[in-house]
């Protein structure tokens, strides 16, 4: 049997990692400035993470939600405290797409409505409902396009008001920062309007913080820069530092009932150990402050580079628009051993671990400046 060939990937077989460093089976060393789509939040092979996971494997790796698991309760309490959503409730699942599916379902159950308002350029996952609210028709089959979804432009408050005008919307879903679309931020005014308009029209405001959450932007969630609260928040990528875990954070105004949601693997013992290790490391090592400080530093050091068309983002979620982005990205990897990401054909996307050091940030800056100076000449 061969693999189902759906990925364009580098011919690099990574076998080891520590902190922000990774190495392949040939002994080549790399600096990870992408974290596997922003998944690696506290660094590769973090000692506390390894301790937590190893200890849990010696105890109990898995049992289903047919039994009480007090590790889930501890994780929910810790997440509530660090995120500022301590009065909300947590449903644990396995992936960002699954989190968004469940968020949409909860909103529909609570409101009795089916229509969803989403944002143009959005990416919310590849399962059926998540694809329906993802603005990329190439990814959708006929099965996915049957949902009742309206797309509006980011930051278009009149369009949002119009979309909600008939009071038939279950939820408005917005990414804290759009990652796949080029690190595009909703404005504070737009988020504040979304909060008030959703309340007025009895719709749920869902913030997809799957990539932009867990401290990546210098706040626990990106939407907290705007000073708002969502009805439902989804989280995944950085939540388990590589172990599959995701969550739906749900307003106390929304009541649960037996069988409303369910999952076999979600919130299993090993996943909770990973989740607790991440939160403990974020708190003890002040990684949210580190992301805020080093993100500001990186942007300030690059903002005068003439090769950059635009630079966007907060904390350690940064997009850099470049005319020759694919070439620069390739050279960063091949000549300097630095992994980066991309959004489309023009945006270099940076999502390093929150534990990145200033020395490692300077390593990226020096390589980037040298490459872009060569191209500009």
CATH of the domain at 54: 3.40.640.10
- Last residue within a domain, chosen from 285, 303, 334: 285
Summarised one tens digit per residue, pLDDT across range 140-170 is 887 777 789 999 999 999 999 999 999 999 9
Of 270, 285, 300, which residue sits at a domain end?
285
Per the CB < 8 A criterion, the answer to whether 124 and 173 are in contact is yes
| 129 lies in some domain | yes
Q: Are residues 276 and 294 part of one domain?
A: no
Whether 271 and 326 map to the same domain: the answer is no
CB–CB of 71/273 below 8 Å? yes
Residue 90 lies in a domain: yes
Q: Whole-model pTM?
A: 0.96
Per-residue pLDDT band at 377 (split at 50, 70, 90): very low
25 domain residue, yes or no = no
118: which 2 tokens? 């989403």
pLDDT classification of 375: cutoffs 50, 70, 90: low
User: At residue 285, does pLDDT exceed 90?
Assistant: yes
Q: Do residue 173 and residue 322 come from a single domain?
A: no
Specify the higher pLDDT residue, 377 or 67: 67
Q: How remote is the C-alpha of 251 from its chain's centroid?
A: 20
**Strand ranges, E, within the chain:** 14-18, 21-24, 29-32, 89-93, 115-119, 149-152, 169-175, 204-208, 232-235, 246-250, 308-314, 317-322, 338-339, 341-343, 347-350
Pair (296, 207) in one structural domain: no
Cβ burial of 192 (10 Å; 0-12, 13-18, 19+) is: middle
Q: Is residue 191 located within the same domain as residue 336?
A: no
Q: For residue 182, give its domain range.
A: 47-285
Measured distance CA(352)–CA(48) in Å, rounded: 19
Count the domains in the chain.
Answer: 2
How many angstroms separate the CA atoms of 310 and 369, rounded? 15
Same domain, 170 and 207: yes
CA 162 to chain CA centroid, Å, is: 29
Please check whether residues 293 and 231 belong to one and the same domain.
no
The answer to whether 38 and 351 have CB atoms below 8 angstroms apart is yes
* CA distance to 120, 128, 317, 375, per residue, from 38 (Å): 22, 23, 8, 28
Contacts (Cβ under 8 Å, ≥6 apart) of 206: 100, 103, 104, 107, 171, 172, 173, 174, 230, 231, 232, 233, 234
Taking all residues of the chain, what is their mean pLDDT, rounded to a whole number?
96
Alpha-carbon gap, residue 204 to 195, rounded angstroms = 9
- Per-residue pLDDT of 330-357, as tens digits, reads 999 999 999 999 998 999 999 999 999 9
pLDDT of residue 374: 66
The CATH number that applies at residue 308 is: 3.90.1150.10
The string of pLDDT tens digits covering residues 102-127 is: 999 999 999 999 999 999 999 999 99
269 within a domain of the structure (yes/no): yes
At 58, list the tokens.
């010696």
Query: Does one domain contain both 173 and 298?
Result: no
Residue 326, in any domain of the structure: yes
Task: Tell me what the mean pLDDT of segment 212-234 comes to.
Answer: 98
- Using one digit for the tens of pLDDT, what is the confidence trace for 53-103? 999 999 999 999 999 999 999 999 999 999 999 999 999 999 999 999 999
* Tokens of residue 242, six digits: 């590589």
Instruction: State residue 79's pLDDT score.
Output: 98
Reference 313, options 289, 358, 285, 348; nearest CA is: 348
Tell me, yes or no, whether 1 lies in a domain: no
Residue 331 lies in a domain: yes
Q: Is there a domain that residue 2 lies in?
A: no
Task: Tell me, yes or no, whether 214 and 293 share the same domain.
Answer: no
Residues 234 and 142 in one domain: yes
By the 8 A CB rule, do 16 and 23 touch?
A: yes
Among residues 285, 317, 336, the one where a domain terminates is 285
| Judgement on whether residues 207 and 309 belong to the same structural domain of the protein | no
Higher-confidence position of 293 and 138 = 293
């Amino acid at each position: 049997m061969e693999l189902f060939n759906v990925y364009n990937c580098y011919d690099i077989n990574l076998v080891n990692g520590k902190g922000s460093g990774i190495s392949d089976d040939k002994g080549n060393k790399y600096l990870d400035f992408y974290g596997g789509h922003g998944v690696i939040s506290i660094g590769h092979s973090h000692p506390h993470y390894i301790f937590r996971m190893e200890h849990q494997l010696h105890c109990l790796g898995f049992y289903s939600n047919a039994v009480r698991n007090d590790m889930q309760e501890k994780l929910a309490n810790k997440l509530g405290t660090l995120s500022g959503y301590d009065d909300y409730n947590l449903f644990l699942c396995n992936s960002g797409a699954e989190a968004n599916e469940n968020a949409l379902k909860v909103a529909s159950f609570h409101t009795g409505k089916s229509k969803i308002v989403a944002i143009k350029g959005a990416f919310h996952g590849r399962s059926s409902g998540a694809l329906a609210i993802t603005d990329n028709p190439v990814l959708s089959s006929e099965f996915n396009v049957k949902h009742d979804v309206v797309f509006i432009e980011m930051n278009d408050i009149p369009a949002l008001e119009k979309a909600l005008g008939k009071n038939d919307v279950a939820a408005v879903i917005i990414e804290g920062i759009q990652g796949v679309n080029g690190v595009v931020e909703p404005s504070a005014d737009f988020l504040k309007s979304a909060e008030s308009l959703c309340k007025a029209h009895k719709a749920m405001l869902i913030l997809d913080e799957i990539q932009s959450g867990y401290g990546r932007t210098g706040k626990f969630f990106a939407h907290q820069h705007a000073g708002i609260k969502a009805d439902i928040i989804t989280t995944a990528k950085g939540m388990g530092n590589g172990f599959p875990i995701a969550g739906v954070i749900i307003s106390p105004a929304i009541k649960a009932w037996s069988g409303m949601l369910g999952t076999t693997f979600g919130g299993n013992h090993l996943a909770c150990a990973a989740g607790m290790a991440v939160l403990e490391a974020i708190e003890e090592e002040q990684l949210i402050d580190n992301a805020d400080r080093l993100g500001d530093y990186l942007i300030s050091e690059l903002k005068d580079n003439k090769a950059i068309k635009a630079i966007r983002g907060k904390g350690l979620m940064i997009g850099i628009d470049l005319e020759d982005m694919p070439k620069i990205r390739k050279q960063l990897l091949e000549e300097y051993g630095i992994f980066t990401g991309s959004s489309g054909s023009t945006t270099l996307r940076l999502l390093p671990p929150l534990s990145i050091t200033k020395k490692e940030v300077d390593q990226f800056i020096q390589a980037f400046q040298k490459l872009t100076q060569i191209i500009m000449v």
